[in-house]
Copies of this chain bind each other. A is one copy, B any other.
Amino acid sequence: MARHTSLSGFPEWLPSKQLVEDQVLDHLRRSFEIHGFSPVVTRAVEPVEQLLSKGETSKEIYLLSRLQAEENEDAQLGLHFDHTVPLARYVVENAGHLTFPFKRYAIGRVWRGERPQEGRFREFIQADVDVVGDGQLALHHDLELPLVMADALGSLPLPKLTIHTSNRKIAQGFYEAIGIADIAETLRIVDKLDKIGPKAVAEQLVQSGTTEEQANQALALAEISGGVEVADRVLALGARSELLDEGLDELVYVLEGGQEMSPGSIVADLKIARGLDYYTGTVYESLLEGHEDLGAICSGGRYDSLASSGKKTYPGVGLSIGVSRILSRMISSEALTVTRQSPTTVLVAVLNEDQRRESELIARALRARGIATDVSPGSQKLGKQIRYADRRTIPYVWFPDSGEVKDIRSGEQIPADPETWVPAREDMRPILMGEQ
């Protein structure tokens, strides 16, 4: 059993699998820092009215109450359902102490009271990068962010990632130009294209008040995808507006930059609407090759007003990786593994309990040089101690009497000094591996 879920929607890993998750999180963190992002950890809770005011996930909030609640209890609190709502609050509260544009990453748990199913959990890890401006934010960040994610995920042993992108201004400018009145509702219906197909989308659009002609045009727009040539294909549909032109310019900027900096990573896909209300420009959704059924595993977009306070407005652009969604699939199927199941490199044997201290001193010398070392918990026959190391996939056993260390995989045994011996480089720590 790869993963036990004694509580539906709240997955936990066995220790060997936990190592995989830890290594992936370390890698993401390091990637984000390499790209100039700083860590921010926000509290797990927000006032409920904050949570309710944002996005469509607000209906799945977990509320908190104290078992021993008193009169005049504090504001009602809920667990955050993403890292974006806390970021918006954090930026407003700390604006005077931040340098803008503010580049932050967040890797941590979020909670949603959804019905659990494969790839959907009630507690899960998201890894976000966002850039927030003070009043304004240059377009080049719309290219920077997907490139960060392409690099961070692309350098893991995962299937190929493709970031699909569009721009809200294109759909909105286009719909306005062809006379569709309810832009939000149209976006919402078109967003279901992959799920319900073009026929049902067209029907729902007409039901929502568009003409058949308008519905067909909206569908024609949504079905455009590809490289920079998509701009011409949109224009060939005949509708024009300033907003549409602006959206196409922004889209082409992102596509051209993507093509140059990370060929094949970013493609246009004009059916992407992203349900969330607050996106106003570029939007992103990413798929893993061969795992399209998982849905978008890295999504986001630009919001002209991530946060605001008084006269100030903070635009932002960000992307969020659904880490648990990816890992639950990859770890369960063993498409992601580590070279061994324990962080420990060496087990020092214990000849008998009176000589345990001697083994401890060997372990101390190894640890002082960064070699993860355990001392045998018992002093049974050496064969039994070696089997214990083997069960934990610890590669080396150290024998204090002979002063020798044995690679229990190859059987090779050599004299060694705990002050100088080093394991093979690849044995220092468990190493992340993709499918063989």
Contact = CB atoms under 8 A, between A and B. Distances in A.
Given A66-B61, A372-B36, A374-B103, A97 B1 contact: yes
A302 to B, nearest CB: 15
Nearest to A1: B97
Interface stretch (A38-46, A164-172, A309-317): A38-46
B39 A261 contact: no
Interface in A1-57: 1, 4, 6-8, 10-15, 18-19, 21-22, 33-45, 47-48
B68 A36 contact: no
Contacts of A426: none
A370 B27 CA distance: 12
Contacts of A35: 367, 372-374
A175 to B, nearest CB: 31
A152 to B, nearest CB: 11
Interface string A228-264: 0000000000000000000000000000010011000
A79 interface: yes
Contacts of A63: 64-67
B123 A12 contact: no
A79 B18 CA distance: 21
Interface in A104-119: 104, 109, 111, 113
A356 B38 contact: no
A378 B62 contact: no
B15 A113 contact: no
A59 interface: yes
Interface residues of A, number: 89
A38 B378 contact: no
A320 interface: no
Contacts of A381: none
A68 B64 contact: no
A392 interface: yes
Given A21-B41, A62-B66, A113-B67, A36 B99 contact: no
Given A4-B93, A90-B12, A33 B261 contact: no
A77 B367 CA distance: 41
Contacts of A377: 101, 138, 140-141
Contacts of A59: 67-68
A407 interface: no
A375 interface: yes
Contacts of A257: 357
A117 to B, nearest CB: 15
Contact of A67 (B61, B89, B388): B61
B18 A39 contact: yes
A104 B392 CA distance: 13
Nearest to A394: B36
Report the 4 A-B pairs with minimum CB-CB distance, sorted nearest first: A36-B374, A66-B113, A33-B343, A10-B43
Interface of A: 1, 4, 6-8, 10-15, 18-19, 21-22, 33-45, 47-48, 58-69, 74-75, 77-79, 89-90, 93-94, 97-99, 101, 103-104, 109, 111, 113, 123, 138, 140-141, 144, 151, 257, 260-261, 342-344, 353, 356-357, 360, 364, 367, 370-375, 377-378, 388, 391-392
8 contacts: A6-B93, A12-B41, A18-B41, A34-B373, A35-B372, A36-B373, A45-B123, A99-B391
